[in-house]
Amino acid sequence: MAGVKEKTLRALRETKEEYLSGEVLSNLLGVSRTAVWKAVQALRQEGYDITSQARSGYRLNKIPDRLLPAEISWGLKTRFLGHHIHYYETMSSTNIRAKELARQGAGEGTLVVAEEQVEGRGRRGRTWHSPPGEGVLFSFILRPALQPTHAPQLTFMASVAVAKTLREDYNLPAGIKWPNDIFIRGRKVAGILTELSAEVDRINFVAMGIGVNVNTELASFSPFLRERVTSLRVEKGHSLARVPLLQRLLLSLEEEYTALLEGGFAPLRRRWLELNLVLGKRVRIISPERSFTGTAVNVDEYGALLVQEEGAGLRRVLAGDVSLREGG
């Protein structure tokens, strides 16, 4: 249920840069003028720029550049993804929080968003660095009726959704580097972390985390990362509004997820093949067991990468990293 604050925001938004008197607002919402004033104060605290004039009332001038639930919900076209939002100014990791919420019974589609992560996580115990307020960092809960062995298909699903959004809505040449990296012109712009709670034969929940470098300048990354990563700002030459990006990502993720559950892996795999950056390339595989060089030739329904090792046979790689640089 929307409270006075949410209803005030909606009314101010709908009047589009015009003044709305305190009296009209209080009649519209069925609350006292003091309650309206308090709601306006609360909105200002969140960063909304609202002017008040003695005779004219209130006017919304500018919405803050924050991933506030009210902003994400406004105009969100999804059926279920992002309908329950947990927003944090600072959080250890949105994946950690999503897993806690899932354990407490939070439903499919629950979204966790943070402006800043102090323990942002990447795959294989790595950290994910993103300066506060500059990226789109989010996790959501899924409860798919999939076999746990097929869970890597969800990473394929998310990679396709992210790459498609960047290509179709932002006109950027984004591609997928197996298993979970989104690259633009040879540099990583987004990463996906799929975490699973499962029994032998069923998935309890999946916490899927996505981090996109949006408005970060290259200088803000460490010298090591500076040569390897990029951001949408760097690629487009200007900063981008993060809320519409998140809304588009959520819609695309929901579409791909629904298509996977209804249509199986084969159609998703075809879309993935069109977007992938590794098949047919000479690659260096760095995996927990061993590292080797070969040619990436295929992916199977378990998400494994099939690599023709040089001077040896076909190898099936389920966990590991692909280096295109060192592959030559």
Among 12, 60, 76, 95, binds ligand BTN (CB under 6 A): 95
Is residue 193 near ligand BTN by the rule CB under 6 A? yes
For 182, list phi and psi in degrees, rounded to 5: -110, 125
Nearest to ligand BTN of 57, 303 (CB atom): 303
Structure tokens at 116: 């800043």
**Token pair 């990293």 in the structure block, residue:** 321
Residue type, 179: P
Nearest to ligand BTN of 138, 156 (CB atom): 138
C-alpha–C-alpha distance, residues 281 and 50, integer Å:
54
C-alpha–C-alpha distance, residues 249 and 257, integer Å:
12
Nearest to ligand BTN of 4, 137 (CB atom): 137
Nearest to ligand BTN of 4, 192 (CB atom): 192
SS3 (DSSP) at 295:
strand
Among 64, 122, 133, 327, binds ligand BTN (CB under 6 A): 122
Stretch that binds ligand BTN, among 50-58, 63-71, 122-130, 228-236 (CB under 6 A): 122-130
Interacting residues with ligand BTN between 195 and 254 (CB under 6 A)? 209-211
C-alpha–C-alpha distance, residues 309 and 292, integer Å:
7
Is residue 320 near ligand BTN by the rule CB under 6 A? no
Structure tokens at 218: 């290259």
Min separation Cβ 317 and ligand BTN, Å: 16
Q: Which residues pair with 209 in a beta bridge?
A: 139, 193
Interacting residues with ligand BTN between 145 and 184 (CB under 6 A)? 180-181
Nearest to ligand BTN of 58, 140 (CB atom): 140
C-alpha–C-alpha distance, residues 1 and 324, integer Å:
50
Rg (alpha carbons) of the chain, rounded to whole number: 22
The string over 181-210, giving b where at least 16 C-beta atoms fall within 10 Å of a residue's C-beta and e elsewhere, is: bbbbeebebbbbbbbbeeeeeebebbbbbb
Stretch that binds ligand BTN, among 60-68, 80-88, 123-131, 305-313 (CB under 6 A): 123-131
Among 137, 296, 299, 305, binds ligand BTN (CB under 6 A): 137
Interface with ligand BTN (CB under 6 A): 93-95, 117, 120-123, 126, 128, 137-139, 180-181, 191-193, 209-211
